[in-house]
Amino acid sequence: MENLEELLRASEERLRLVTEAAELGIWMWHIHEDRVTWENDRPYTIFGIDPSEGPVNAARFRKEFVHPEDADRFDAAVLALMRTGERFFFQGRFIRKDGDVRWVEFAGNLVNNNEGTPGWLLGTAKDITALKRAEQALTASEARYRNLFEGIDEGCCVCQLLLDAQGAPYDIRLLEVNPAFEVQTGLRDVVGRTLRELVPRLDPAWIDIYGKVAIRGESVRFEQPANAMGRVFNVFATPTGHPQDHKFILVFTDITERNRVEEALRASDQRKSEFLATLAHELRNPLAPLRTGLELWADGSGDQVDVYTVQAMMKRQMEQMVRLVDDLMDVSRVNLGKIELRMERMELAQVIHQAAEGVQAAMVGSDKKLSISLPAEALYIQGDRARIAQVVGNLLNNASKFTAAAGRVQLSMARVSDQVTITIADDGIGMTPDEINRIFDLFVQADVRLERSTSGLGIGLTLSKRLVELHKGTITAASEGPGLGSTFTITLPLANRSHMAPRSGGAEQPNTPMIQQRILVVDDNRDAAESLATLLRHGGHTVRVAYDGLEAMVAAGTFDPDLLLLDIGLPNLHGYEVARQIRSKAWGTSMYIVALTGWGQPEDHERSAEVGIDEHWVKPVDIAQLKQFLRTPRRKDLTQP
């Protein structure tokens, strides 16, 4: 008997050691007595109960310890046990006596009494809070990963490197991809398939790179063109999982468009640099003969120098500089949508002859020939006469410029249905297909060889294209290749018969004598002010000069001019403020004010009108225009409304 008791104690001791090692609480629910007993100390620790409290019944246990949100599941587990007699199992939250919430796992089996009916439930309880928190953290981590994986704009995929019999990389299998994968690659239904299957002509370099990542465990970032896909990718590749699995993760972006934009920006910067160099060259060209002409005049050798020849030369060079500046201003206005067309119904042949006159004169000395073929019928368009002449003149000048001596330029016009086409062809240097594609871009020139001294600024064709488009027309370029000449074709809509007739001229005749007037010239550039004043005095006018805004105000009040030629950018008081203050004086209301300035944007004209300036002229002043202007008295008649 003693041996049996010792064996029983030894068995119980072993059970105690095992349950303590496993941190298991042993409990028993006496069903008929509705009493729960703790068979070892662990349940007291799990539920925070003092052993002196004694046993609890099932109802109290459920009420005090089972978390309210898990109580229904607990009841369902007990009910299933009593109905089926199967093993009891439940995982849920329990509230300790100190209020701490713990996760506990219950497991147990029914034990029958002598009558063969369930007498009690014997089971275990284990605190699994740490395990549950780890599971929750893992679930949250997986959710964060999934949200990131599926939500990022970059393509992302998990891949596995495939090796051949010799252990060399030969392909990549796609195991998992995010939604952006298709957007970045254009490939669909890729999971489980290989790269070579999806892109048969894939560059082997891609497999080599990923082989190093998967086998050596090296992360790498690189940019690489996928020529077979017509794309360029920025890729980050990093190994994942066990090294023997040869798995890796890719995060990548299609940068094809970004590279195209960057290349376009580089090309644009290059064109701008070339343009600035060309601008400096083109401005120096007329400056050199202007300086020479001035030196000849300063030399005073009137017997040796043909004054009129020098004057004509200097006038031509000055006009060239003005054209360069005007072209720059025009292309800026057109690009900003601030150019205003003066539309009228006009006969196109007249405009073509007007544009061709200047070009023909320049071609005579170089033995180049210009032929013009026009239809017998008069063709009318609705447009800006000056702008259409500017476009035709630009194209004729270009054709002449890039045609060798004794070359030919041909201009023809024809009616095609309700449109008219103007074709300008030459037998000059021609163009490559790439040059044709870019010829209308800003700052692009077909020929920039140093031996060509008349390359231009590369803005004339851009300006011509914009102006034609403003007239609802088109302009195209064609060439059979270098050395085979070029052809430019303008297409414009013909005018409807309902359009207004041409404006009648009402300009004063240039032979009308100038009327002597009192004129105040205001300019902080002393050379500009004095030279203009001298010119006006030679015309018989009484002239006074001021060099800043405050001086202009004093002179205007004391001199009382009929006409004020006013610069805008003045020290002390700018021209707009000078005009505003003059208009606020009783003596200044009848004075005629003309802004003579380098500022010529539409907003500059608008501001001039706002402060009471009558006209806004852009420097340099056209002397012929000024003389014509002065043939009419300029002081305002106060009797007129």
**E strands, 452-566, in order:** 474-478, 487-493, 518-522, 542-546, 563-566
Flag the least confident range among 21-25, 67-71, 503-507.
503-507
Q: Record the tokens describing residue 105, joined without a space.
A: 């796992």
Name the residue among 138, 156, 165, 173 with its Cα closest to residue 245. Answer: 173
* pLDDT band, very low/low/confident/very high, at 467 (cuts 50, 70, 90): confident
Given this model, what pLDDT does residue 10 score?
A: 60
More confident call, 518 vs 12:
518
Cis peptide, bond prior to residue 239, ω within 30 of zero = no
Q: How far apart are CA 83 and CA 80, in angstroms?
A: 5
What residues does 237 pair with on adjacent strands? 220, 250
The Cα-based distances of 258 to 236, 254, 255, 266, 272 in angstroms read 17, 8, 5, 12, 21
* pLDDT band, very low/low/confident/very high, at 60 (cuts 50, 70, 90): confident
Flag the least confident range among 126-135, 510-519, 592-601.
510-519
* pLDDT band, very low/low/confident/very high, at 500 (cuts 50, 70, 90): very low
* pLDDT band, very low/low/confident/very high, at 170 (cuts 50, 70, 90): very high
Name the residue among 87, 119, 120 with its Cα closest to residue 106. Answer: 87
Contact 371/330 with Cβ under 8 angstroms? no
Say which residue the tokens 């320049």 belong to.
362
- Other CB atoms within a 10 A radius of the CB of residue 122 amount to 15
Given this model, what pLDDT does residue 504 score?
A: 38
What are residue 224's phi and psi, to 5 degrees?
-150, 130
pTM of the model: 0.44
**Torsion over CA: 617, 622, 625, 626 (sign):** positive
Given this model, what pLDDT does residue 541 score?
A: 92
Name the residue among 229, 214, 221, 201 with its Cα closest to residue 173. Answer: 214
The one-letter code for the residue type at 425 is: A
More confident call, 477 vs 285:
477
State percent of the chain over pLDDT 90: 34
pLDDT value at 343 more than 80: yes
Name the residue among 578, 617, 572 with its Cα closest to residue 599. Answer: 617
Given this model, what pLDDT does residue 283 score?
A: 67
pLDDT value at 84 more than 70: yes
Q: Record the tokens describing residue 213, joined without a space.
A: 């990542």
State percent of the chain over pLDDT 70: 80
Q: How far apart are CA 194 and CA 169, in angstroms?
A: 13
pLDDT digits (tens, 9 = 90+) for 9-19: 665 556 556 55
Given this model, what pLDDT does residue 609 score?
A: 92
What residues does 107 pair with on adjacent strands? 89, 124
Q: How far apart are CA 566 and CA 634, in angstroms?
A: 15
What residues does 156 pair with on adjacent strands? 251
Flag the least confident range among 82-86, 156-160, 331-335.
331-335
Q: Record the tokens describing residue 594, joined without a space.
A: 């003309």
More confident call, 638 vs 438:
438
* pLDDT band, very low/low/confident/very high, at 58 (cuts 50, 70, 90): confident
Q: How far apart are CA 283 and CA 301, in angstroms?
A: 28
pLDDT value at 488 more than 90: yes
Q: How far apart are CA 48 and CA 27, in angstroms?
A: 15
Q: How far apart are CA 524 and CA 596, in angstroms?
A: 12
More confident call, 310 vs 169:
169
Given this model, what pLDDT does residue 640 score?
A: 41
Reported for 82-89, long-range contacts at CB under 8 A and 24+ positions apart, including other chains, are 82/118, 85/110, 85/118, 88/121, 88/123
Q: How far apart are CA 253 and CA 185, in angstroms?
A: 9
The Cα-based distances of 596 to 254, 371, 459, 535, 618 in angstroms read 54, 41, 26, 15, 6
What residues does 177 pair with on adjacent strands? 157
Q: Record the tokens describing residue 445, joined without a space.
A: 């020139």
Q: How far apart are CA 579 and CA 614, in angstroms?
A: 10
Q: For 511-540, what is the mean pLDDT?
A: 83
- Other CB atoms within a 10 A radius of the CB of residue 72 amount to 10
Contact 605/492 with Cβ under 8 angstroms? no
325 half-sphere exposure, CB direction, 13 A CA radius: 15
* pLDDT band, very low/low/confident/very high, at 624 (cuts 50, 70, 90): confident
What residues does 176 pair with on adjacent strands? 158
Name the residue among 367, 348, 366, 344 with its Cα closest to residue 356. Answer: 348
Say which residue the tokens 């439930």 belong to.
121
State the first-to-last Cα distance of the chain, in angstroms, to the nearest integer.
141
Q: How far apart are CA 253 and CA 269, in angstroms?
A: 26
Q: How many residues does the chain have?
A: 641
Helices 602-610 and 575-583: crossing angle in degrees, nearest 10, is 30
Given this model, what pLDDT does residue 502 score?
A: 41
Q: For 278-295, what is the mean pLDDT?
A: 67
Q: How far apart are CA 121 and CA 515, in angstroms?
A: 128
Given this model, what pLDDT does residue 29 score?
A: 85
pLDDT value at 626 more than 50: yes
Q: How far apart are CA 484 and CA 480, in angstroms?
A: 6
Given this model, what pLDDT does residue 226 score?
A: 92
Given this model, what pLDDT does residue 505 score?
A: 38
pLDDT value at 424 more than 90: yes
* pLDDT band, very low/low/confident/very high, at 27 (cuts 50, 70, 90): confident
pLDDT value at 135 more than 70: yes
* pLDDT band, very low/low/confident/very high, at 83 (cuts 50, 70, 90): confident
**3-state DSSP assignment of residue 580:** helix
Q: For 67-96, what is the mean pLDDT?
A: 89
Element holding 322 (H helix, E strand):
helix 307-335
Q: Which residues contact 87 (CB under 8 A, 6 or more apart)?
A: 81, 107, 108, 109
pLDDT digits (tens, 9 = 90+) for 248-262: 999 999 999 999 988
Name the residue among 614, 569, 621 with its Cα closest to residue 591. Answer: 614
Q: For 508-527, what is the mean pLDDT?
A: 75
Q: For 222-239, what is the mean pLDDT?
A: 92
Given this model, what pLDDT does residue 362 score?
A: 64
pLDDT value at 304 more than 60: no
Given this model, what pLDDT does residue 407 score?
A: 85
**Torsion over CA: 449, 453, 456, 461 (sign):** negative
More confident call, 497 vs 254:
254
The Cα-based distances of 134 to 22, 129, 294, 479 in angstroms read 19, 9, 93, 74
Q: For 337-362, what is the mean pLDDT?
A: 80
Q: For 154-164, what is the mean pLDDT?
A: 93
Alpha-helical segments (H) within 163-244? 180-185, 195-198, 204-216
More confident call, 513 vs 538:
538
Given this model, what pLDDT does residue 453 score?
A: 41
Given this model, what pLDDT does residue 416 score?
A: 92
The torsion defined by the Cα of 388, 393, 396 and 398, in degrees rounded to 10, comes to -110
Name the residue among 383, 389, 380 with its Cα closest to residue 418. Answer: 380
Q: For 28-50, what is the mean pLDDT?
A: 81
Flag the least confident range among 44-53, 191-200, 405-414.
44-53
Flag the least confident range among 40-49, 237-246, 485-494.
40-49
pLDDT value at 528 more than 50: yes
User: Would you list the DSSP string of 70-85?
Assistant: GHHHHHHHHHHHHHH-
